């Protein structure tokens, strides 16, 4: 050997090389064993894992059905928007993710935590937020690598092109709540599903909701979709055609303007709601978004209570409009004849208390007709006193007071039609005779909703035949294209002679011609109606202008037209605007005139023509 | 005189087998790199083409290291070590940082890793040191070469590059064992390391970057996984395991194609290969590697002098270490330490260094004594 390479060392070296070879073989055998274990023994298991790795279940939210007015004007549709989802099974560190997301999107961590903790399987992605701004969506996309399991989905988002128009009627949508998910009717939904939370969106939710689909998509580790593996298409909800005419609706809303109140217009011949306005209103586009708690508190605590549909949920004393059912009751119960008179000298003595007439000087001798035309209180005090509260209640109930009209809107209020029994139940006190006298002119315990009053005057206009107020004219099935009409629902007939209705309608026509509602007189069409002034505060001192607005009276006007064969019935309520004749009657006149101008040249029932055309277009018989 | 005689040797069947093995392994590497990066933008060119370019440069390095007498090369060991140490210092200040480590020196559009070249230089330094004079006593055999290695090791750990640091120590240990350590010296070394362990642990653990600690902890205890570092290891295991016997075929590896597997073309290229070619493919690659090392060990055992033998052993042990640790870490046997698979993983510095080393090995064989044949 050479140099420093001694024989002994050379031998040692060769031996060590052999050891090295043995060692190497052992280590490689160990590696091969490990790989055999991974690939052969546990190969199937890892194959499963890799399949799961590349596919992910993604829900596809359905597009909600569209909502049109009776002439096919679009009221609610869907627009694409970005939604943020989190696939729980891909989240390694939930708290870190929550922190990152709350930083990026400026969301409350507790809110995200709650969303992530929602009900449902582990494989079901949770929706965290919808209607992301483009900026937020881009921000999330650019942080994709730091946000495992986070995905942005393009979804259809409810949109109301009219903004505040018909907002109370349409309602708004929102994520299904935890409490709702417990209920059977929401059993096929999941956390993050959008359901109607108010208005028609809520009451007709099962029509417009549609059905969610799902797809299994192959994704890479960055969460980018490579291709959809299985697609179960979402099924869009059915379209609704409402009974309202959006032009009339807008007019009614404009008429109310900044005042608080409601206007309801019905077709007395079938109960169709032609317009139902309530002010103040809200923007359903805002409400359908995920609101911050602060925004929500702001809306709920708004003094004007914009979420309240005053037409169906506002309960007011009917004031003198109550004299209309009172008149029917008085004639039918034979408490009075059309000719019997009462002398009005400006007050009505009951015990040691005097009930005043609105006209301090009195109306002199009045019969039923003139009592209605000039809204004589003393006449009705007398009639009410003779009838007694329970007989009044009986007729009030015939007209649907104190009970639901059956309109398909959530949280309709019933108002109160008091009776001795009612007081015993509600107040645990006996009925006092003096209370009957207040009720006789629509004060005291009696309260009604504008919708009830519209329904009442429609019933009178229709000679006692009553329909359930109808909101949806037809439902268009998205799959079959069938247009299914929802028929008018008769609710019965008031047991009264036609003569009675004739007399009362005559009187109501004279109310407009020569009585308290001359400001509703129209050159276009004959109008019959009744004014009402609902007292808010019992004590009144000084002239109207000196009273703080919140204590001023509510103005009522209920009307129908044309008097000869009524096609529209209207109830107008304006809060704290004083006399019905001055504040409410002109509004009703505008609505009625607009209705006849809009439908000029169309015969009765022709308003449904556009829907009928659509039926023809879909070539499916009903 | 003998040198001159052996100089005349040309290629023989051994050389052809040797080069054939290298080419086969390089080919497997190119295939896997192409498979995992075919839909990625590699910058100026696709990754596999860039790797072809690196292989060409590597071939040049191979030829240089093969042609030039390794005694001459070894004489350059100390100056080369000085240059490498300078580059390692330079990289600390001017290096390009990637994934929390400052390892690269930018050269125009390219960047290279001095730590890769440091490995080969260390082998040269240690071989030169041991063959220069009979090193006797544990001081000369263990401590002095240890001190020689230390500055390079510390600079590499500072980057930090745990993988290269470990290969440094592995090369040192392998050469130490090959020159032979008396049991007495070994005993003292062991004693020292046991005594120093708390300090080393403290120092080493403290010097590690967060991600390295997490990687190690994720290995020691997979449930300890604060930011998903175990994800890496798991995805790699899934990739390998799901390949089963026959694999999913070229471009068929969902783990790598869909980017569940990070670093698919570099440190985890073995997992890509195992997923697409299955256990059969894995055995083929292992056989290729074992054959290459087997031939290399033949060269070591037949080297004409101690320098040649030590060079061969150093290179073989470094290759072995990288292969075993890389496959072991992708298969979940070792913590993830960031060591590329020689000749397979994408990367200029590592490829050039590996090919240069193999050239040097063939150089040793070329100049061996005819006596052995």
Q: What is the pLDDT of residue A191?
A: 74
Residue B333, domain member (yes or no): yes
Q: Is the pLDDT of residue B184 over 50?
A: yes
B99: confidence class by pLDDT, cuts 50, 70, 90: low
**Mean local confidence (pLDDT), B181-201:** 57
Q: Is the pLDDT of residue B305 over 90?
A: no
**Mean local confidence (pLDDT), B105-133:** 86
How many domains is chain B built from? 1
Distance CA A292, CA A454 (A): 37
Q: What is the pLDDT of residues B248-274, one digit of tens each?
A: 888 888 777 777 777 788 889 999 999
Q: Is the pLDDT of residue A429 over 80?
A: yes
CATH of domain A56-88+113-127+151-240: 3.90.1310.10
Q: Is the Cβ of A4 closer than 8 Å to some Cβ of chain B?
A: yes
How far out from the chain centre does Cα A622 lie? Answer: 28
Residue carrying structure tokens 């060590």: A16
Residue B261, domain member (yes or no): yes
Q: What is the pLDDT of residue A255?
A: 93
Write down the mean pLDDT value for chain A: 85
B216: confidence class by pLDDT, cuts 50, 70, 90: low
Q: What is the pLDDT of residues A150-202, one digit of tens each?
A: 888 887 888 999 989 999 999 999 888 888 888 888 877 877 788 999 999 99
Q: Is the pLDDT of residue B2 over 60?
A: no
Tokens found for residue A620: 């499916």
Q: What is the pLDDT of residues B141-157, one digit of tens each?
A: 888 988 999 999 988 88
* CB contact (8 A) between residue B260 and residue A220: yes
Residue with more model confidence, B170 or A277: A277
Q: Is the Cβ of A28 closer than 8 Å to some Cβ of chain B?
A: yes
All residues of chain A having their beta carbon less than 8 Å from the beta carbon of residue B282 are 32, 35, 39
CA atoms within 13 A on the CB side of A41: 7
**Mean local confidence (pLDDT), B89-108:** 74
ipTM: 0.86
- For residue B131, give the nearest of A4, A39, A148 by CB distance: A4
Distance from CA of A48 to the nearest CA of B (A): 8
Write down the mean pLDDT value for chain B: 82
Query: What does the buried/exposed string (b/e) look like for A551-570 if buried means 16 or more CB atoms within 10 Å of the residue's CB?
Result: ebbbbbbbbbbbbeebbbbb
Q: What is the pLDDT of residues A214-251, one digit of tens each?
A: 777 776 666 666 666 656 788 889 999 999 999 999 99
Residue carrying structure tokens 């007050």: A347
Residue B10, domain member (yes or no): no
Name the E strands within A220-281: 225-232, 239-242, 261-266, 273-279
DSSP characters for A277-335?
A: EEES---HHHHTS---HHHHHHHHT-TT-TTS-HHHH--B--GGGGHHHHHHHHHHTTS
Residue B24, domain member (yes or no): no
Report percent pLDDT > 70 for chain A: 89
Q: Are A219 and A448 in contact (CB under 8 A)?
A: no
Q: Are B312 and B300 in contact (CB under 8 A)?
A: yes
Which residues constitute the domain of residue B243?
Answer: 29-372
Burial of residue B194, with CB atoms counted within 10 A of its CB: 0-12 exposed, 13-18 middle, 19 or more buried: exposed
Q: Is the pLDDT of residue B287 over 70?
A: yes
Q: What is the pLDDT of residue A369?
A: 93
CATH architecture of A246-281+307-601: 3-Layer(aba) Sandwich (3.40)
Q: Is the Cβ of A13 closer than 8 Å to some Cβ of chain B?
A: yes
Q: Is the pLDDT of residue A59 over 80?
A: no
Q: Is the pLDDT of residue B199 over 70?
A: no
Residue B19, domain member (yes or no): no
> Which segments of A154-292 does DSSP mark as H helices, in order?
167-170, 178-182, 199-203, 205-208, 246-256, 284-287
Residues of A marked active site are found at: 320
Range in A205-214, A565-574, B80-89, B343-352 with the lowest mean pLDDT: A205-214
Q: What is the pLDDT of residue A536?
A: 80
Q: What are the residue ranges spanned by the domains of chain A? A: 56-88+113-127+151-240, 246-281+307-601
Range in A122-126, A328-332, B360-364 with the lowest mean pLDDT: A122-126
Residue B291, domain member (yes or no): yes
Residue B344, domain member (yes or no): yes
**Distance separating the N- and C-terminal Cα atoms of chain A:** 109
Distance from CA of B242 to the nearest CA of A (A): 4
Pairing state of beta strands A465-467 and A225-232? unpaired
Distance from CA of B269 to the nearest CA of A (A): 15
All residues of chain B having their beta carbon less than 8 Å from the beta carbon of residue A99 are none
B183: confidence class by pLDDT, cuts 50, 70, 90: low
Residue with more model confidence, A530 or B253: A530
Q: Is the pLDDT of residue A312 over 90?
A: yes
């Amino acid at each position: 050997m050479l140099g420093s390479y001694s024989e002994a060392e050379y031998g040692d070296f060769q031996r060590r090389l052999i050891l090295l070879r043995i060692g190497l073989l052992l280590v490689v055998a160990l590696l091969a064993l490990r790989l055999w274990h991974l690939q052969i023994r546990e190969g199937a298991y890892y194959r499963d894992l890799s399949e799961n790795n590349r596919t992910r279940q993604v829900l596809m939210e359905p597009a909600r059905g569209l909502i049109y007015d009776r002439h096919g004007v679009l009221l609610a549709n869907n627009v694409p928007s970005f939604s943020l989802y989190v696939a729980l099974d891909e989240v390694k560190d939930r708290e870190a993710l929550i922190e990152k997301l709350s930083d990026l999107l400026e969301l409350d961590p507790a809110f995200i935590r709650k969303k992530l903790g929602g009900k449902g399987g582990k494989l079901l992605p949770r929706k965290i937020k919808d209607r992301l701004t483009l900026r937020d969506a881009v921000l999330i996309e650019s942080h994709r690598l730091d946000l495992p399991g986070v995905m942005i989905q393009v979804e259809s988002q409810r949109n109301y092109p009219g903004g505040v128009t018909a907002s109370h009627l349409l309602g708004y949508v929102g994520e299904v709540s935890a409490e709702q998910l417990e209920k059977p009717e929401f059993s096929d939904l999941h956390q993050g599903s959008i359901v109607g939370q108010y208005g028609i969106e809520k009451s007709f939710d099962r029509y417009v909701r549609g059905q969610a689909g799902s797809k299994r998509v192959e994704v890479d580790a960055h969460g980018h979709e490579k291709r959809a593996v299985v697609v179960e298409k979402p099924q869009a909800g059915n379209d609704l055609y409402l009974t309202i005419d959006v032009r009339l609706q807008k007019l009614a809303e404009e008429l109310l303007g900044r005042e608080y109140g409601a206007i309801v217009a019905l077709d007395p011949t079938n109960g169709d709601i032609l317009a139902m306005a309530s002010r103040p209103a809200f923007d359903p586009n805002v409400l359908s978004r995920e609101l911050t708690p602060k925004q929500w508190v702001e809306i709920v605590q708004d003094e004007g209570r914009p979420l309240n549909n005053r037409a169906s949920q506002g309960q007011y004393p009917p004031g003198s409009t109550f004299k209309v059912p009172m008149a029917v009751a008085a004639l039918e119960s034979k408490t009075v004849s059309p000719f019997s008179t009462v002398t009005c000298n400006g007050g009505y003595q009951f015990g040691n208390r005097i009930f005043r007439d609105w006209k301090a000087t009195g109306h002199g001798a009045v019969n039923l007709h003139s009592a209605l035309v000039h809204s004589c209180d003393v006449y009705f005090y007398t009639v009410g006193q003779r009838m007694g509260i329970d007989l009044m209640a009986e007729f009030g109930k015939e007209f649907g007071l104190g009970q639901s009209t059956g309109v398909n809107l959530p949280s309709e209020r019933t108002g109160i039609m008091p009776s001795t029994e009612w007081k015993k139940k509600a107040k645990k006190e006996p009925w006092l005779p003096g209370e009957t006298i207040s009720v006789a002119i629509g004060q005291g315990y009696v309260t009604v909703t504008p919708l009830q009053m519209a329904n009442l005057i429609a019933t009178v206009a229709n000679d006692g035949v009553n329909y359930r107020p109808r909101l949806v004219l037809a439902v268009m099935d998205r799959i079959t294209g069938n247009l299914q009409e929802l028929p008018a629902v008769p609710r019965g007939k008031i047991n009264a002679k036609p003569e009675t209705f004739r007399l009362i309608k005559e009187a109501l026509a004279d109310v407009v011609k020569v009585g308290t509602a001359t400001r509703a007189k129209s050159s276009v069409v004959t109008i019959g109606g009744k004014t009402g002034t609902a007292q808010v505060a019992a004590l009144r001192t000084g002239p109207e202008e000196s009273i703080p607005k919140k204590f001023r009276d509510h103005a009522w006007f209920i009307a129908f037209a044309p008097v000869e064969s009524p096609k529209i019935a209207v109830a107008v309520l304006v809060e704290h605007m004083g006399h019905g004749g001055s504040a409410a009657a002109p509004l009703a006149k505008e609505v009625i005139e607009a209705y006849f101008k809009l439908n000029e040249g169309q015969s009765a029932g022709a308003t449904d023509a556009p829907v009928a055309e659509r039926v023809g277009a879909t070539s499916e018989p009903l | 005189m003998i040198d001159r005689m052996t100089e005349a040797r040309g290629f023989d069947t051994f050389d052809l087998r040797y080069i054939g093995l290298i080419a086969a392994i390089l080919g497997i590497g190119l295939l896997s790199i192409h498979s995992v990066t075919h839909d990625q933008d590699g910058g100026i060119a696709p990754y596999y083409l860039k790797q072809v370019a690196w292989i060409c440069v590597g071939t040049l390095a191979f030829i240089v290291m093969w042609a030039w007498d390794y005694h001459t090369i070894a004489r350059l060991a100390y100056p080369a070590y000085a240059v490498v140490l300078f580059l390692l210092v330079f990289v600390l200040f001017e290096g390009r940082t990637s994934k929390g480590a400052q390892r690269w020196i930018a050269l125009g559009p390219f960047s290279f890793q001095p730590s890769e070249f440091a490995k080969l230089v260390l082998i040269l330094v240690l071989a030169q040191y041991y063959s220069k004079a009979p090193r006797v006593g544990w001081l000369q055999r263990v401590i002095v070469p240890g001190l020689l290695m230390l500055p390079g090791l510390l600079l590499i750990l500072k980057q930090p590059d745990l993988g290269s640091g470990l290969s440094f120590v592995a090369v040192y240990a392998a050469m130490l064992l090959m020159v032979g350590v008396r049991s007495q010296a070994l005993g003292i070394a062991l004693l020292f390391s046991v005594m120093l362990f708390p300090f080393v642990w403290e120092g080493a653990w403290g010097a590690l970057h967060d991600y390295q600690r997490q990687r190690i902890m994720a290995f020691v205890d997979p449930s300890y996984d604060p930011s998903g570092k175990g994800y890496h290891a798991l995805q790699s295991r899934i990739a390998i395991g799901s390949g089963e016997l026959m694999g999913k075929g070229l471009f068929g590896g969902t783990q790598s194609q869909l980017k569940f597997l990070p670093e698919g073309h570099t440190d985890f290229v073995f997992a890509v290969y195992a997923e697409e070619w299955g256990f059969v493919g894995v055995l083929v690659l292992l056989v290729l590697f074992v054959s290459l090392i087997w031939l290399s060990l033949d060269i070591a055992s037949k080297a004409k002098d101690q320098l040649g033998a030590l060079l061969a052993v150093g290179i073989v042990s470094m290759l072995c270490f990288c292969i075993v640790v890389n496959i072991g870490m992708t298969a979940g046997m070792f913590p993830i330490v960031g060591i590329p698979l020689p000749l397979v993983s994408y990367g200029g510095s590592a490829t050039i260094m590996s090919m240069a080393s193999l050239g040097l090995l063939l150089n040793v064989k070329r100049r061996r004594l005819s006596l052995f044949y």
